[in-house]
Structure 1
């Protein structure tokens, strides 16, 4: 790996500062969420009072029975969030899957999340 590749890699990581890591952070979002529902995903969000958006994932076995399916849904959500985080307001986001998500293509799931991020950016109820 060249030095240029080494230097660019940390910026591509999904850093801990951009994740919901404690149960209380998830409970806070679940307590009074704003929501956007799209095929494949339900996105709950709430202003966080910080200087960046953070992501939490709650992909259940009820929605995606196989671990490989849950991992794919989480990977797609993390990547989409990572690409859009800079343009999102300062919110905490929890992404849930909905029925039928496992049968959708990765491209369609990514498009669904792109639509959700656009809706959140336009939302008047989020303090930017």
Structure 2
């Protein structure tokens, strides 16, 4: 794999407040006690990711960075099934107690369920 395959370029990120607001307006929701995923259809041919990992929920920078790395990596692996969606991942305090494998499994489950929920939106 080339180096560029491991990056998370700007085109795959939600960057502006407008991008985030579009997702928050009428989202398709999927979540549990530690994570909430919100999604909406975008006009692009690829998926884009936004994250909300607040200091209020995760006090230590090392915890915030670990969770963001896990979310980005999981998103990278599931991009193909999320094509045409903008996704925002909201993190809650309880996630800091989970190990990396548990977070990955939870994200895998949420990506699958979210893509199934959004399938009918993408087809129309």
Of 36, 58, 64 in structure 1, the residue corresponding to residue 58 of structure 2 is 64
For 2:83 and 2:29, the matched residues in 1 are separated by 15
Tell me the equivalent position of 1:80: 74
Q: Which one has a bigger Cα radius of gyration?
A: 1
Tell me which moved more, 109-118 or 39-48. 39-48
Matches within 5 A, 1:33-112: 33-112=27-106
- Cα drift, residue 50 of structure 1: 1.2
For 1:83 and 1:55, the matched residues in 2 are separated by 13
Structure 1 contact 40–104 (Cα < 8 Å) conserved: no
For 1:56 and 1:64, the matched residues in 2 are separated by 17
- Please state whether the residue corresponding to 1:42 is helix, strand or coil: strand
Matches within 5 A, 1:4-19: 8-19=2-13
**TM-score of the aligned structures, taking structure 2 as reference length:** 0.91
* Residues 56-114 of structure 1: per-residue CA shift (max 9 Å, x gap): 01111122111111111111000000111012131100011123100011110011000
- Cα drift, residue 28 of structure 1: 1.1
**TM-score of the aligned structures, taking structure 1 as reference length:** 0.88
* Structure 2, unaligned runs of 5 or more: none
Tell me the equivalent position of 2:107: 113
Aligned residues: 122
Tell me the equivalent position of 1:21: 15
Structure 1 contact 89–126 (Cα < 8 Å) conserved: no
- Please state whether the residue corresponding to 1:126 is helix, strand or coil: helix
For 1:34 and 1:121, the matched residues in 2 are separated by 10
